[in-house]
Structures are given as structure tokens and as C-alpha cells.
Structure 1
Amino acid sequence: MFKKLFFALTVLATSSSWTWAQQASSDYPTKPIRIVAPSAAGGGFDLVARVLGSKLSEQMGQQFVVENRSGGGTLAGTQVIAKAPADGYHLIVGGLSNMALNAGLYKNPGYEPLTDFIPLRIVVSHSYTLVGRKDLPFNNMKDMLTYAKVNPGKLNFGTSGPGTGQFILASLIKGMGNVDIQLVPYKGAQPVYMDLLGGRVDLFFDNTTTTRTYLESNQLKAFAVSSRQRAPDGPQIPTLMETGAMDLEMETWFGLFAPAKTPPAIVDKLRAEIDKAMQSADVRKKLQQGSGRIVQMNNAETEAMMKSEAAKWPRLLKNAGIAQE
């Protein structure tokens, strides 16, 4: 008798939970949704959070509130959402840094990108452009590497610190090119440009959009772009692979992610709303910022990309001699 009663209560509880989940999913959202940008205000994570958050608020009738959670590179904010309730009210902007690079940079990042998160949509990708002082005695990648080998320790790269695309690309060129180049850490990109223009630093790999101002004003010169294809607003700049100096490509991509156990109905609803938002010309323009590439992929393509990136970058970082912290 007790076994039958226990079984009946279990079935009732399971049925009630399922009914509640279905009801919650159909009513979603009924309160504001938090989007964590795992960085300080400004930059790619913040931009994606605010542009998508604004449009989704308009479409879904609830506020998408952006919360900047910096610290430990992108670790702090990402860890917060990995442990947050999987109810659709806690989202994070995921990108190359927190969803692929951190696994190769840290022994214990505190989360697993492929099992702790669901990629809702990847929406935009940006390349980096390698720029340098106008008076450097070389004008292409091959000559730069040759110069670095003949003059060990003489060239330096400005970087925005470990975990950033600027740092990773500079480290990869140093490791893959087998050259002795000094990496100089800065707190943000702006101080690097001040020292580039002042002749105190030689080279900098930065977001392609940001470099445009300095290239168009002829204050700096460009050596290569990190993407597989040339940037649409800088077609004269070769890709790293086109230079023949090294077989390397890197784009920093961004999208929205939810905790892994978020109900499927809510995941589907968010994906549909993001797809709708991305049809807006204004949203696309704001995300592109001149040189960005809008990304359009279905669920299977997105998951395949995530698996590929999560496997590729830790291996590349290890092969380049970048030690985990």
C-alpha cells in the first residue's frame, strides 16, 4: 500500500512540475530579464547586451536589464550566470573570450562552456587588425617577423591584458612565429594608442573598427587582418593567412547564452525573438559598427561552431606556449 501511495505521489509531483513548467514557459516573460555583460561598460560584450536588450525589451514587453560584471577577465560575470537559476530570467553575452579562450587560459575557470550554457544565437563577429607605428622599418608581416628574429627583444606589442583578443593574438604571433617580442600590458586600448602615436610602443592588434580612425588619418600603418576574409571597409589589408607568414585566423564573436537547464520552450521563444530582432536594419547596423560581420546560423550550426571553437583554442594556446593560470 505504501509503495502504491509513494508511486502515486511521485507521479502527481512530476505531473505538477511539468504543468508548472509549461505554464511558466507559455507566460514568459512575466518580469525583467537580466543580461550580464562580463566586462566593463564599453566594448563588444556591453554593445551586444545593450543593443539586443533594448530591442528584446521592445518586442517582449519586459525590460532586459544589462548588468556589467567585470573581474578576472570575463570569468566573474560568466561564473555568476553559470550558477544562476535556469528560468530564462538570467542570460549572458557569450563570446570567444569567455566561451572558448578561458578554457585554455585558466586551469579552473569555474564553468564548462559546452555543458553549463545553451547558445541562443551568435549574432556578430569582429576581426582584429595589426597596426604599427608609421616609422617602423618594415611594411608587411614577413618582414616584421624577419626583423624580430634579427633583433630579438627589440619589438614590443601593446596588449589589453591576459584573456583579451589583443593579448592572445600577440602571444600567438610570438609563439607561432618563434620570435622574441615583448608584450606590454595596458588597461584598455586608448592608452596603447597614445603610446603608439608617441613612439613608445611598436605594434597593436586591436578591434578592426577601432583601428580605422588611426589608419584613415594616416597616423598608423596596417599589416594584416585576423579574419578569414578581408574586412569590407579595409579591402587593401591582407589577412594573416594571405601574408604567408602564418596559418592563423581569429574573429571575436558574440551572442546570447542561457544556463544549460533553461526550459526548451523558453529557449525556443528567446531564439525566435532574437531572430526577429536581427531582422532590424538598425540593430544590424549598431552591431556591425562598420566592420562587423552579422552571423546567421541555425541551432545545429551554432552548436557545431561552439564545439569547434571550444576544442580549437585551448589546443592552439597550449601549442603557442601560453601557460594556464
Structure 2
Amino acid sequence: MQYQHIKRRQMLGVVPCLMLAGLPAIAPAQASFPSRPLRAIVPQPPGGGFDFVARTLGERLAKQIGQAVVIENRPGSGTLVGTDAAAKADPDGYTLLMGSVSNIALNMGLYNKLSYDSLRDFEPVGIAVSYSYTLMARNDLPLNSLREVVSFAKANPGKLTYASAGNGSGQHVLAAALWHLSAADITHVSYKGAQAAYLDLLGGRVDLFFDLSSTARPQVDSGKVKALAVSGAERNPMHPNVPTILESGIAQLDLESWFGYFVSTKTPAAVKERLRGELTKVITHPEVQETFRSRGGKPLNLSADQTLALVRRDVERWTKLVRDIGIKAD
């Protein structure tokens, strides 16, 4: 009996030790994060807004954490291929996704079957910058304001045309939402990319085109096109004399395309906090903010709660609006 008592006491001491033995293996792994290079998936080709923001943030982040941030461009099916790859990656914090209104919010309404759920599968760890859109008109269009465009479109259904960089693109969804809310009948002309849309806008073969204000600026400043409205809640400093959609009184609509890094929601909490803290330093760095401003962006400095609220708001409102309008990308 004494032997059994001793063995029982020994076992009681061993069990807690065994339970505790596993804890140090987890904690140091998270405390030493990152111990190898990070991968940042960009669901668009090099050269666009996704790529520009990803590289701007990645370069500064790499200096801070002492590990490389490898940019991996994974375009295809709009933004689906890259976003799906990020959703299926190991949730260890070593895979980041460059997210925007496009792949995080709009896709939820554009596709009947989506391999990921933005709110279930991804969590933002740093929204860095937002860009408004500018509505441009061909230079010889005899309409000089958004209100005039809508009035003409109502009186002449289907006569005006608007370009987009592709079916389901940000330009398409924003314009379609505006025409839907203002009851304007304007014909959509889909192009394979913004460059082709600009060629026809400048050539007078299409009447209207929404594009990011940073990209639209050279065309507007050169006088080759007319700027009629901007999509942000406030006027864009690059186009201070151009009213917002809200100011026009045509529709209660605003959209700014934000960009930032996301990780899997299953990523360990300590790793998410480390990434969030490091990215906050990156996002608020004066050089990074000036880089974004010089390209027409509005630098953001949001708390974790504010960031999550922004993402949830845009996912919910744009999913509903896209479905109400009936826009489909598949």
C-alpha cells in the first residue's frame, strides 16, 4: 500500500509537469516570431495599386523585423487566385495577404460561389491607405457635372456609355452603384484593363470612366478629360475643386478603396499582435505616409477596433448593394 501511495504521489507530480512541458515549446515560438522570411501574397500583377502598397509596406516592415518580406504576385480570375491561396496557407503568420475593398468586400457579392469568406477567414493587421475614385468625362461631352449627366441619362436612356477595367472591377461596381441609386440608365462598356478604357475615353469613343484619383490625375491635369465628381466622403486634395458624389445630392454613396495586410483569423493571437504592432509603426512612419500622399493616397492611422469596423462595414454594405444591383463576375 505504501508503494502504491508513493507511486500515486509521484504520478500526481508528473502529470502537471507533463502538462507544463508543452507550454514553453509554444510560447518561445511565438515570442521569436518571425524566425524566417514572410510571404506577402498580392492578388494582382506587378505595377498596380495592390503591388505598390504591398511593396511600400513590405520594404519598411522587413527593416523593422529583421526578416525579408517576399512579395508574391498571384493574379488570376480578378483577385480570386491570390486571395484563395492566402486563405489556404498555414495560419502561422508567415503568409500575409494584401487586401482591398476589391477582394475583401466586393468579391463577397460578385461571386455566387466563393472559396473564402472575408470576415470568417481573414483578419486585418494593418490598413495603411485609401484612394478615392474620380469620375471623368470625355473632353467634348456637353455635360459638365454629375447632376447634368444623370438628368441627361434619365431623359435619354442607354445613350450615354461608361467604361470599366473589366466586369466586376472596382470601376464597374462603383459606377453601376451610382447609376442604380440615381436611376440613371447608362450603358456599360467593359475593357480588359484600365489602359484600354483610357484609350477610348481620350478618343471620344466612350463617355465616362471612373478610375482611382491617383491614376486619373495626369489626364485631368492635362485637360484631356473633365473631372465631374470624386467618390470619397471628402474632396480629394488632388482635385480640390471637384465635388464629391455626396455633395452633388445625386446619391448617398461614397467609396474609398483602402489597402492593407491581412492574415488568417486562425493565426495565434500573439503573432497577430506582433504583426499589428510592427505594421502600426510602418504605417505611421513619415516617409511611408509621404510616399502614399505623393501618389494621391490618404494615409490611415486606425486602431485595431477601427480597422475591423471599417472592414466589416464595407463587406456588409457592398455585398448587399452589389447583390441588389445584380452585378455578377461569374
What TM-score, normalized to structure 2? 0.92
Is 1:133–2:138 an aligned residue pair?
yes
For residues 17 and 187 of structure 1, the distance between their equivalents in structure 2, rounded to whole angstroms, comes to 54
Runs of 4+ in 1 over 3 A off after TM superposition: 7-18
1:26 counterpart residue number: 31
1:280 counterpart residue number: 285
Structure with max Cα Rg:
2
Question: Taking every aligned residue pair, what percent have the same amino acid on both sides?
Answer: 42
Asked if the contact 1:21/1:263 (under 8 Å) is kept, the reply is: no
Deviations 1:96-123 (A, max 9, x none): 0111111111122111111111210111
2:192 counterpart residue number: 187
Superposed displacement of residue 174, structure 1? 2.8
1:299 counterpart residue number: 304
1:110 counterpart residue number: 115
| Matched position secondary structure for 2:229 | strand
Deviations 1:167-218 (A, max 9, x none): 1112112322223222111122122111111111111000001111111111
1:261 counterpart residue number: 266
2:7 counterpart residue number: none
| Matched position secondary structure for 1:313 | helix
For residues 14 and 83 of structure 1, the distance between their equivalents in structure 2, rounded to whole angstroms, comes to 31
Structure 1 residues 16 and 311 mapped into 2: Cα distance closer, same or farther (>3 Å)?
A: farther
Instruction: Please give the residue correspondences for 1:84-103 in structure 2 after superposition, counting only pairs within 5 Å.
Output: 84-103=89-108
Read off the aligned partner of 1:249 and give its amino acid letter.
D
Unaligned runs of 5+ in 1: 1-6
Aligned residues: 323
For residues 17 and 47 of structure 1, the distance between their equivalents in structure 2, rounded to whole angstroms, comes to 42
Match for residue 233 of structure 2 among 228, 231, 255: 228
Say which is worse superposed, 278-287 or 302-311, in terms of deviation.
278-287
1:77 counterpart residue number: 82
Superposed displacement of residue 10, structure 1? 9.3
For residues 114 and 229 of structure 1, the distance between their equivalents in structure 2, rounded to whole angstroms, comes to 27
Say which is worse superposed, 302-311 or 111-120, in terms of deviation.
302-311
Read off the aligned partner of 1:296 and give its amino acid letter.
N
Superposed displacement of residue 8, structure 1? 10
1:196 counterpart residue number: 201
For residues 214 and 94 of structure 1, the distance between their equivalents in structure 2, rounded to whole angstroms, comes to 27
Deviations 1:271-300 (A, max 9, x none): 111111123222112223442111111111
Structure 1 residues 219 and 80 mapped into 2: Cα distance closer, same or farther (>3 Å)?
A: same
Unaligned runs of 5+ in 2: 1-11
1:38 counterpart residue number: 43
Asked if the contact 1:133/1:196 (under 8 Å) is kept, the reply is: yes
Read off the aligned partner of 2:155 and give its amino acid letter.
V
2:8 counterpart residue number: none
Asked if the contact 2:167/2:329 (under 8 Å) is kept, the reply is: no
Read off the aligned partner of 1:86 and give its amino acid letter.
P
Superposed displacement of residue 323, structure 1? 4.2
1:50 counterpart residue number: 55
Structure 1 residues 246 and 58 mapped into 2: Cα distance closer, same or farther (>3 Å)?
A: same
Asked if the contact 2:130/2:256 (under 8 Å) is kept, the reply is: yes
For residues 168 and 272 of structure 1, the distance between their equivalents in structure 2, rounded to whole angstroms, comes to 33
Match for residue 66 of structure 1 among 48, 57, 71: 71
Asked if the contact 2:136/2:226 (under 8 Å) is kept, the reply is: yes
Say which is worse superposed, 281-290 or 262-271, in terms of deviation.
281-290
For residues 249 and 111 of structure 2, the distance between their equivalents in structure 1, rounded to whole angstroms, comes to 31
2:164 counterpart residue number: 159
For residues 19 and 226 of structure 2, the distance between their equivalents in structure 1, rounded to whole angstroms, comes to 64
RMSD (Å) for aligned C-alpha atoms: 2.3
Asked if the contact 1:39/1:73 (under 8 Å) is kept, the reply is: yes
Asked if the contact 2:284/2:301 (under 8 Å) is kept, the reply is: no
For residues 240 and 177 of structure 2, the distance between their equivalents in structure 1, rounded to whole angstroms, comes to 24
Asked if the contact 1:233/1:290 (under 8 Å) is kept, the reply is: no
Say which is worse superposed, 22-31 or 314-323, in terms of deviation.
314-323
Deviations 1:141-175 (A, max 9, x none): 11101111222222111101133210111211232
Match for residue 244 of structure 1 among 223, 240, 249: 249
Asked if the contact 1:124/1:288 (under 8 Å) is kept, the reply is: no
What TM-score, normalized to structure 1? 0.93
